[in-house]
Structure 1
Amino acid sequence: MPRFTDVAGTYLREQVVAGEGFDEGVPDTTTMWHRVALEHTDEPGRWDDVVPVGEAMPFPAHTPFFQCMTTGEPVLVPRVSEEMGHAVASQFEKRDIRPLITGRSMLVVPLKARHAVLGFMILLRHPERQVFNDMDRVTGAELAARAGLVLDNARMYTYQENVAETLQDSMLPHIPPRMAGCDIATRYLPGTLLGRVGGDWFDAVKLPGARTAFVVGDVMGHGLNSAAMMGQLRTAVQTMAALDLPPAQLLRNLDDLAQRLGDTYLATCLYGVYDPIASELCLANAGHIPPVLVRAADGRSELLDLPTGAPIGVGGVPFEAVRVPVEPGDRLVMCTDGLVEVRGEDIGVGLATLCESAAHPAASMDDACDTIIRALNTRGGRKDDVALLMARLGGIEPDDVAEWRIAPEPSETGRARAVVREQLYEWGLPKLVDSAELMVSELVTNAVQHSHTRPVALRLVRGDTLLCEVEDDDHELPTLLNARSTDESGRGLRVVSTLARSGAPAGRRPARASGSS
């Protein structure tokens, strides 16, 4: 404009505007088209109210627009007649578009790429100008072809970005900010805008005994393959953590799994288990950078000295676990090397900055994470993804834990009910007594039947929920059974499971139970 045309409007498929995929077949009368642009040489405001940008509408079969969309070829109308103007205007409710188009020369050209029609352009000339001819048709088609290719590239890029972000979001867990005895905050930063999918991950897994497992890992490389490998390893860690494997044994099994998956990828992984009752961390490392522990007593931060170990996937190497005593209020910081490593700089500089920024006072866990990110992310040269997990280790007060040893005798079940009832009254939880008594009765009965020589351990933990835990020395894990109507047993654990999931009525502290061996 204005040399070639006096009015130019662009319409795109609804899915193209949204960056979504669509059936690349021939459009029909139900296909919605968004008006995304309109320019003209008429007096200001003449078109704005009648054909506003952003409007979406379908087009009927008798219009030249529908003909252009279905054939994929330009449509030339030397002069828009009164009849055609009326047919086009029928789409515009309570707006008369006829004065704007009648008598003008019109050229409709498709915006297409890879045999798919993405949209079309409407070109109009004033009545006093020469009408569009066949050469103009070729010129308009060439302009539209170039625009269509650019639009399709943008559409494919947007679609791939959406797929990448969806994949990454689905693989990164949504960790609750509060778990038993600890508060958690996390951050994930992509390495580059063009590589939002990577192999970095973090996780926090609930374990028996009010414990929590913390995981940070990094699959070497970038892209969808690394993300897929990351997803497999993260799922494996979740599964093995649920089996309560010790940290060193878990990494050993993860290394074996990586060997079976193939020798293409390596990964580093740091796995730790926090016991808020024993106030202890148990950590094992597979080639990962060490974690930082910030002491609450004096605000001092330190890199924990762990056996480094070899990365996951090397195969045939041992892993060692280290136990670290902690105090309530201490903070554990675990991250991937993308946060501390910069090309051309010794990694020790980044680790020192990590320790310094982790020790900086902060009003909240989120603020503490942001402080670390600001301190380390301002340095130039970072190209790798970043996964950061911080946990404030709050612990569980001894007064909130009650433990007993029960002799493996059927008659001891009554004693278990009695001590639980007495403890709950002492804690001021009388409304949970009935449910807790029934759960403990079933769990202790089950444990007594399967224990061998050691006494049965019974523990209550009072926190955000009430945890009822029973432990025996049988090597088989308890399993839910489908008891038939004629069976005399097999329903106890199902009763426990139902009661534990249902919790307590609204306004009461909920109850949970778990059994382990």
Structure 2
Amino acid sequence: VPVTPDWGVPRRAERRARRERAARALAAGEPVPEELRDEAEDLEYTAVRERLEFLNEVSGAIGTSLDLAQTIVEVSRAVVPRFTDVAGTYLREQVVAGEGFPDGVPDTTTMWHRVALEHTDEPGRWDDVVPVGEAMPFPAHTPFFQCMTSGEPVLVPRITEEMGHAIASQFEKRDIRPLITGRSMLLVPLKARQVVLGFMILLRHPERPVFNDMDRVTGAELAARAGLVLDNARMYTHQENVAETLQDSMLPHIPARMAGCDIATRYLPGTLLGRVGGDWFDSVKLPGARTALVVGDVMGHGLGSAAMMGQLRTAVQTMAGLDLPPAQLLRHLDDLAQRLGDTHLATCLYAVYDPIAGELHLANAGHIPPVLVRAEDGSSELIDLPTGAPIGVGGVPFESVRVPVAPGDRLVMCTDGLVEVRGEDIGVGLATLCESAAHPAASMDDACDSIIRALGIRGGRKDDVALLMARLTGIDPDAVAEWRLARDPAEVGRARAAVREQLHDWGLPKLAGPAELMVSELVTNAVRHAHARPVALRLVRAYTLLCEVDDDDHDLPALRSAGPEDETGRGLRVVSTLAREWGASRTNAGKTVWFELTLPARRR
């Protein structure tokens, strides 16, 4: 960029006066004096034009992406080497973190992150002294602080040894003086909406002309454009982080092991702008060591779909806790969607796995069918079940089917974003899903990744994807013990003795003490509140020791605060203290209260 004399309104007035004098000389037939000729004006116009062209080129080079990191690099590279030899970019901590808009004027405690450094020196010369990624504050006596607080460019024609020493004092145990002393420095703030987001340090080699007032104006214009682009990228990054946080908060953290099955999940956000969708998966612990597995998809994208997904997922959790049959649960979910409004439709696949009976009980509401991989021969197939209408249509019946399964079989449930490709029949994607699901894998996570890889390369995926895989390990009949107890307080002692004996038979004598105590409390409550039916006691040895007590009273128990002289109210407090986990749920016949104990580690 050429270095030119002062410019602006005074220069334009001088040029106008020269032109008028030259015109009068020509009108009088006199030669135009040398001092009235305007060659310098052409040079200045050329310089201004080149600066405007430079700014135009920079504007086109930056902001090609809404990615904050890429935008930072583009801003730094746009000015080196044409305008400056060294360009360092610093941003406020909130901007780097993708948080909200920074508040207030920066001060001496504000942390500034060095996010980019471009230079024309030999490679590596700056890397050790001023590494990218470092965060530091700036004291009040420095030109950096003046730039960030005033929001105006700061020009230092030459960095003297004294100033170089003052600047170097900010860099502990690193001598930066040889890199900056004798150079010309221009500091320009990166602003948006009158708030300083960061600043750029521009340095020229000693052999280049120093920065001048025209460079200051050019740098300020450059920084204004860069600040706007960075703010757009910051806002996009912030909104993307909010969307991902919202999506993550709505998706459950499913345990890898449930009673009789191992579970692995994957969620991939869509590539459409917004990255918030309505896909979800879930698992719910049910009485009888059963597990409910759910995959759903609210049609559409954006916050509206995500909000609807959150409501439906919560509703499924609640209704599953009531132990409703799959078809009946979808019926109630459809009614709820009708009451919530007809702006969104959703598909849902609901399956209940009984590891003791070796059976799947499934119902479908417009969702793509699941895949069942047989452990016996490694074959895979789409489970044939009635498709049903999407949730929210209303007035359509749902049907359920029962499918026998064997230990080791795998169930694969996913949303249509994994198998659908625009312009291609969905049957092709389903066939690929079946084929990839049958591939042997070292672990459940590897199996999920294999499916994602097989289907992710087909076309450009824009929809979000939810994938749930369950390995149905089953529970051996010998690992289940059940008793029927009469509604008699004397049965409490029988229940304790039966549990103690069974745990010794299973080789779990260390669990006998706490299990007896908790069974005593739960059976006592059940016998006291049961109406007509006998009390049922069940022990299940799976990945934990599960104990369930059933009775025909529908009122769920609750923790109570017992006083020093109260004779009751401590039973559930004991259970809550000793159990790994405990809970209660309503059933068609009454309720089930359960607790789990962690199995002792096996000896190698």
TM-score, normalised via structure 1 length:
0.90
How many pairs are equivalent? 510
Partner amino acid for 1:330? D
- Aligned 1:37-436 pairs, distance under 5 A: 37-40=116-119, 47=126, 50-98=129-177, 100-126=179-205, 129-192=208-271, 194-436=273-515
Change in Cα spacing, 1:71 to 1:454, as seen in structure 2 (3 Å) is same
Task: Say whether the 8 Å CA contact 1:343–1:382 is kept in structure 2.
Answer: no
Other structure's SS at 2:416 match: coil
CA gap of 1:138–1:366, structure 2 versus 1, over 3 A, is: same
CA 1:145–1:435: 2 relative to 1, 3 Å:
same
1:31 aligns with 2:110: yes
Q: How big is each residue's C-alpha offset from its partner over 1:446-494, in whole Å with a ceiling of 9 and x where there is no partner?
A: 1122222222111111122221211112222333333333433232233
Amino acid at match of 2:503: L
CA distance in 2 between counterparts of 1:400 and 1:478 reads 28
Structure of greater Rg: 2
Q: Which amino acid aligns with 1:508?
A: P
Sort the Cα spacing of 1:35 and 1:189 in 2 relative to 1 into closer, same or farther, 3 A.
Answer: closer
Alpha-carbon distance in structure 2 between the residues aligned to 1:435 and 1:97? 67
8 Å contact kept, 2:161–2:181: yes
Q: Please say if residues 88 and 200 of structure 2, whose CA atoms lie closer than 8 Å, have aligned partners that are also in contact.
A: yes
Distance change (3 Å), C-alpha of 1:275 and 1:81: same
Offset at residue 274 of structure 1 (A): 0.8
Contact kept, 8 Å, 1:296 with 1:328, in 2: the verdict is yes
- Distance (Å, rounded) in 2 between the aligned partners of 1:191 and 1:288: 19
Amino acid at match of 1:418: A
Q: Offset at 1:336?
A: 0.8
Q: Deviations over 1:115-168 (max 9, x none)?
A: 221221223345565443322211111111222222222222222232222222
Residue 323 to residue 115, structure 1, CA distance change in 2 (3 Å): same
CA-CA distance at 1:225 after TM superposition: 2.4
Q: Distance in 1 between matches of 2:337 and 2:488?
A: 45
Gap change, CA 1:147 and 1:270, over 3 Å in 2: same
- Partner SS for 2:478: helix
CA distance in 1, matches of 2:86, 2:396: 72
Summarize the Cα distance change of 1:44–1:453 in structure 2 as closer, same or farther, 3 Å threshold: closer
| 1:513 alignment partner in structure 2 | none
Secondary structure of 1:387 counterpart: strand
Give the conservation status (yes or no) of the 8 Å contact 2:95–2:102.
Answer: no
SS in 1 for 2:417: coil
Question: In the superposition, relative to structure 1, how do residues 306 and 133 fare at CA in structure 2: closer, same or farther (>3 Å)?
Answer: same
The one-letter amino acid of 1:238's match is Q
Q: Distance in 1 between matches of 2:325 and 2:191?
A: 58
| 1:286-342 Cα shifts (integer Å, max 9, x gaps) | 111121222233333332222222212223433333222222222211111112222
Indicate if the aligned counterparts of 1:432 and 1:504 stay in contact, CA closer than 8 A: no
Question: Is 2:600 aligned against 1:508?
Answer: yes
Q: CA deviation at 1:101?
A: 4.1
Q: Is the CA contact 2:500–2:516 (under 8 Å) kept in the aligned structure 1?
A: yes
Under a length normalisation based on structure 2, what TM-score does the superposition of the two structures give?
Answer: 0.78
Residue segments in structure 2 that go unaligned for 5+ positions in a row: 1-79, 582-594
Report how far residue 96 of structure 1 moved.
4.5
Query: Does the CA-based 8 Å contact 1:465-1:509 persist in structure 2?
Result: no
Q: Is the 1:6–1:123 contact (alpha carbons within 8 Å) kept by the matching residues of 2? A: yes
Unaligned runs of 5+ in 1: 511-517
Give the stretch that moved more between structures: 136-145 or 187-196.
187-196
For residue 200 of structure 1, report the CA deviation from its aligned partner.
Answer: 0.9
Deviates more, 1:148-157 or 1:482-491: 482-491
Distance 1:93 1:267 in 2: 59
Distance 1:145 1:20 in 2: 21
Q: What amino acid sits opposite 2:559 in the alignment? A: L
| CA deviation vs aligned residue, 1:377-408 (integer Å, no higher than 9, x gap) | 23214322221111111111011111111122
What's the Cα RMSD here?
Answer: 2.8
Q: Distance in 1 between matches of 2:125 and 2:384?
A: 74
Query: For 1:457 and 1:288, how far apart are their aligned partners in 2?
Result: 37
Q: Distance in 1 between matches of 2:367 and 2:414?
A: 9
Structure 2 residue 535 is matched with structure 1 residue 456: yes
Report the Cα distance in structure 2 between the residues aligned to 1:257 and 1:226, rounded to whole angstroms.
16
Question: CA 1:43–1:476 in 2, change beyond 3 Å: closer, same or farther?
Answer: closer
Q: Is the 8 A contact 1:219 1:265 kept in 2?
A: yes
Alpha-carbon distance, 1:273 to partner: 1.1
1:469 equivalent to 2:548? Answer yes
Give the Å deviation of 1:431.
2.0
- Taking the aligned partners of 1:362 and 1:88, their CA distance within structure 2 comes to 58
1:134 and 1:360 mapped to 2: Cα distance?
Answer: 69
**Counterpart contact for 2:270–2:463, Cα < 8 Å:** yes
Distance 1:163 1:177, change over 3 A: same
3-state SS, counterpart of residue 338 of structure 1: helix
